[in-house]
Amino acid sequence: MRKLIFGLLLFSPVALIAQERTNKQVLQSLSQSLNQQYKNDSTELSLLVRQKKAVQRFKVENGSTAQLTGIAPNKLPIYTVVDNNTTAAATTSTQTLWQGGSTGLGLTGGTQALTGKLGIWDGGRVFFDHVEFQGKGGLQLDNPAANDDHATHVAGTMIAKGVSTVARGMAYGNRGLIAYDFNNDAAEMAAQAGSLLLSNHSYGTVAGWRVNTSANNRWEFWGEPGATEDYNFGFYDTRSRFWDSITYAAPFYLPVKSSGNNRSQNGPPEGNPYWRRNAAGTWDSIPARPAGISSNDGYDIIPTYGNAKNILTIGAVQGIASGYRQATDVLISSFSSWGPTDDGRIKPDLVGMGVSLTSPVFGGNINNLAAYGILSGTSMSTPNVTGSLLLLQELYHRQTEGNFMRAATLKGVAIHTASEAGTAEGPDYVYGWGLLNAERAANVVRNHQNNHRMIEANLQQGRDTSITVIASGKGPLVVTLSWTDPPGAVNFNDRYNNRTPKLINDLDVRVTSGSNTFMPWILDPANPAASATRGDNIRDNIEKIEILNAVAGQSYTIRISHKGSLTNNAQAYSLIVSGINGIAYCASAPSSNADTRINNVSFGNINNTPSAGCTTYSDYTGLTASIRPGQSLPISITPGTCGVDKEKIIRVFIDWNGDGDFADANEVVATSAVIAGSTAFTTNVQVPASIASGLRTRMRVIVAETNNASTINACGTYTGGGETQDYSIQIVANTTDLALEDIQEPITNDCNKEAQYVSLRARNLGESIIQGTDIVYTTEVRQGANLIQTLRDTIRHFVAKGDVMILPHSQAFQANAGSYQFISAITINGDQNSGNNTLTVSKNYSNGLSATVTNIQAQVCNNSSVSFRASISPASALLWYTQQTGGAPIGGGTAALASATVPGNRTFYIGINDFKGNIGINNKEHFSSGGGYNQFSPGVR
């Protein structure tokens, strides 16, 4: 039956149509066949259980439940286990897309056309009665035995409506979530694929080492008898092929899957006892672990269908509460599984936040409709990404008046715009292509700056296609090619690290300009820790080219071709391009190449002495001067002659706004007096303070035989001899730039107090580390025209590039009810940008009542808001409540202000990890299927 299924998919004459439109006939046939296989497998599994060669389910170390779900070709049982929100939204920039977000897009996932377009397969029933899901119309379409914390938490990370603001889902307005447990998932996915856009799969095959808590906490090794590693890691199995078959027939459907939590499950130390299966399939106790068995703590540890080609596989990183700034902000979690696949493909595809996410849970009590938990795992990072991607489909639907992106386009855009992570440029097998950046992706989709292009097209057998673009200079030129590939072959007989590519239709993208050819990123699976290089990608069904120094105004040709024969004689593809739609710069040259020439140009890091001889125009855009906003930089141009010395004038133009001309105000940056002989012209160029770093633009230097500067224009032919030279300009961030971002303390709408301390938040926006120098910061506290107090302090602090520092004032002032103005300033020697060194903020105070327990304070203001403070670590583990059991949190963290109905007894509760008491459950172990690395916050008084 399996061969029949794949024959239908690969050789049906309607297969190409399926790549562009959903092939419901193929999906229906596939679903029926997979359902029958599931029934057949269930009979075999029941026999294994009766023979005591397998158990139906067991508990693993993190409290999750592993369930018997299949049987491998070697007749060993297959078990599936779950892989276990405001910070998550900040980490992936998703909150910028929300209502009130900085992009102004107001996306929630609530567009009617998205109802029923999002699915979840997980370890049990989603508790749709939770207050976060009420009124959302979620549908559990199978009949799991029990409500499940893990499934509920995952669903909440995607769509919780934000009754508790700290638990708001990525697509919090979405309705009609389609839910199943993971038993028989492939058949159910095939049945639903025609109507879904995205589905979340936070579970995976049990592989490598596991602690079985149902069997006296024993370590178990899940590799085959006699094996020193588990073949399931990196292996493209039958289920991988099923998923690729489904997505090939449903080109708008993108499953999003967790990479797994295997990297911290390493087995016992050598010499300690453990268990493993024997040749008969039963478990043996081994008295001492020998040397040589893999600890699955490095590369190639993503199991089975996490290695499917047409899905998006997600790893887990720590949260970035203040938002992404640089690659070093992104820190991989201790548990997240790394790639590559056995054939060397890049996995995971992306990473999201997977450490300490707050989301709704079932909580063990059907009458408690407002239980919340804090969980960690790739199970959490995956819905962080899935829910965010749904917002991109909502935006595309709005932009195109009713259409949706193909899955290959959505996947391509997400990878195209990912934030750099890791220690080197390009992809790697730890972070994949990087951290999802929903804001960048949205900017590509809406293209409001006319800097991007998205193409969905088909490549025919034996053909290639090309387009020509002009680099804009607004960021690097980035080209991403993505396609939904036909399912690959499963080779169980060669199941250990088989490097044979699973790619069926091998498309290629190249970018050329003049004699230069730019190649895609590639990785070497034989050396997985090595940095990415550029070359011919023969493995992945996504290729990405980044030209960091693309010349603004220059033409580039993008060519798409293929190797060998295309299955079904054609392949649908998606092409995403950024850094384009620039304008070709006008030509400039003298009417004669005799006599006057340029001998030398010195500006920034450019020091160019051309070879002898005269010419009318020289393109030196391969030479780049890196300059900073607000900088005053010397420029020196030395004229010369090939023959008769004539009077001449030098003029310099820089296209400051990158619009493809030199006609705007202040773009004539230097003009010499009349020069006789070869005297160098030297002056200073003032860089505009407001110019944005990252812009790549052009400088034009003209020397013309004239005594009238007004006759020298940036464009056209000028009379007589002379020379025009073009150079590239790169605007870079300042070396030293300490910016004052906010008043950290007091918080907005605080309560009155006798001793109010003030602290400032600053960020190092420069390229260098700040250390060993005095940082002076001052704050004037005013009430109207009255100066209440002046605060001044000096500190020395180590601040890495992009990092935030908190600057506390040592003195306090008495804050009475009313409005105060805080006028703050910060200074540091060598700061190259004074424009971000001051800040004025107003804060209001109200009369309030306060109560303090050890390290914890609550203060009620006007019976309408309450401020909380706690000296407890970690802050992410704290949730604030108005009742001891049940109820939604009204705030979180060590300092919070909440607008809430103040209870009559003015009593509040804090939930922390190290707890006494509960919110409807007895202990942490109640969360039997809560996913990896469970951390919960039951309320305590």
Section 93-109 average pLDDT = 93
Q: Residue 704 forms beta bridges with which residues?
A: 649, 722
Nearest by Cα to 568 from 675, 455, 487 = 487
pTM, to two decimals: 0.81
Which of 312-316, 681-685, 900-904, 920-924 shows the lowest mean pLDDT across its residues?
920-924
- Count of other CB atoms within 10 angstroms of residue 244: 25
pLDDT at 875 over 60: no
The DSSP line for 391-438 is HHHHHHHHHTTS----HHHHHHHHHHTPBP-SSSSS-BTTTBT-B--H
* pLDDT tens track for 407-438: 999 999 999 999 999 999 999 999 999 999 99
- Phi and psi, residue 319, nearest 5°: -70, 155
Tell me the range of 9-23, 576-590, 836-850, 893-907 where mean pLDDT is highest: 576-590
pLDDT at 734 over 90: no
For CA atoms 455, 458, 464, 465, give the dihedral sign.
negative
Q: Residue 792, by phi and psi: left (phi above 0), alpha (psi -120 to 50) or beta?
A: beta
Query: How high is the mean pLDDT of the chain?
Result: 87
pLDDT-based confidence at 144, cuts 50/70/90?
Answer: very high
Kindly compute the dihedral angle of the four CA atoms of residues 556, 557, 560, 564, in this order, to the nearest 10 degrees: -110
CB 782 within 8 A of CB 820: yes
The beta-strand segments (E) located in 746-902 are: 750-751, 753-764, 774-783, 786-796, 804-815, 818-828, 838-846, 848-853, 856-861, 865-870, 879-881, 891-892, 895-899
More confident residue, 864 or 18: 864
pLDDT-above-70 percentage for the chain:
84
pLDDT at 55 over 90: no
* pLDDT tens track for 508-545: 999 999 999 999 999 999 999 999 999 999 999 999 99
Burial bucket for residue 905 (CB in 10 Å: 0-12, 13-18, 19+): exposed
Q: Residue 848 forms beta bridges with which residues?
A: 861
Q: What is the rounded CA–CA span in Å between residue 827 and residue 833? A: 10
Tokens matching residue 460: 């025919």
- DSSP-derived letter for residue 659 is S
Which of 565-574, 708-717, 830-839 shows the lowest mean pLDDT across its residues?
830-839
* pLDDT tens track for 375-402: 889 999 999 999 999 999 999 999 999 9
* pLDDT tens track for 636-663: 999 999 999 999 999 999 999 999 999 9
* pLDDT tens track for 308-332: 999 999 999 998 887 888 898 899 9
Model pLDDT, residue 76: 63
CB 186 within 8 A of CB 239: yes
Which 3-state string (H, E, C) describes 596-637? EEEEEEEECCEEECCCCCCCCEEEEEEEEEEECCCCEEEEEE
Q: What is the rounded CA–CA span in Å between residue 646 and residue 285? A: 96
Q: What angle do CA 718, 720, 726 make, to 5 degrees?
A: 50
Nearest by Cα to 501 from 558, 564, 457, 560 = 564
Mind listing the domains of the chain with CATH numbers? 448-578 (2.60.120.380), 588-731 (2.60.40.1930), 738-831+837-926 (2.60.40.10)
For CA atoms 365, 371, 376, 380, give the dihedral sign.
positive
pLDDT at 846 over 90: no
Tokens matching residue 354: 């997977």
> What is each CA distance from 435 to 12, 317, 382, 440, 584, in whole angstroms?
38, 8, 12, 11, 34
Model pLDDT, residue 938: 24
Tokens matching residue 151: 């499934």
Model pLDDT, residue 2: 26
Nearest by Cα to 720 from 709, 708, 704, 742 = 704
Ordered strands of the 218-221 beta sheet: 209-212, 218-221, 274-277, 283-286
pLDDT at 900 over 80: no
Q: What is the rounded CA–CA span in Å between residue 314 and residue 306? A: 9
- For residue 167, give the H/E element and its range: none
Q: What is the rounded CA–CA span in Å between residue 809 and residue 805? A: 13
Section 702-725 average pLDDT = 96
Burial bucket for residue 715 (CB in 10 Å: 0-12, 13-18, 19+): middle
Ordered strands of the 804-815 beta sheet: 738-745, 753-764, 804-815
Tokens matching residue 468: 């020509």
pLDDT-based confidence at 916, cuts 50/70/90?
Answer: very low
Q: What is the rounded CA–CA span in Å between residue 300 and residue 497? A: 9
Tokens matching residue 871: 């000296």
pLDDT at 671 over 80: yes
CB 240 within 8 A of CB 255: no
pLDDT-based confidence at 18, cuts 50/70/90?
Answer: very low
CB 43 within 8 A of CB 49: no
pLDDT-based confidence at 559, cuts 50/70/90?
Answer: very high
Q: What angle do CA 260, 265, 269 make, to 5 degrees?
A: 160
pLDDT at 365 over 70: yes
pLDDT-based confidence at 719, cuts 50/70/90?
Answer: very high
The SS3 call for residue 211 is strand
Q: What is the rounded CA–CA span in Å between residue 79 and residue 182? A: 11
Q: What is the rounded CA–CA span in Å between residue 385 and residue 352? A: 6
Tokens matching residue 541: 């069904």
Indicate the residue type of 628: R
Model pLDDT, residue 772: 82
pLDDT-based confidence at 5, cuts 50/70/90?
Answer: very low
Model pLDDT, residue 15: 38
* pLDDT tens track for 170-203: 999 999 999 999 999 999 999 999 999 999 999 9
**What angle separates helix 185-192 from helix 238-249, to the nearest 10 degrees?**
10
Section 548-557 average pLDDT = 96
Section 610-637 average pLDDT = 94
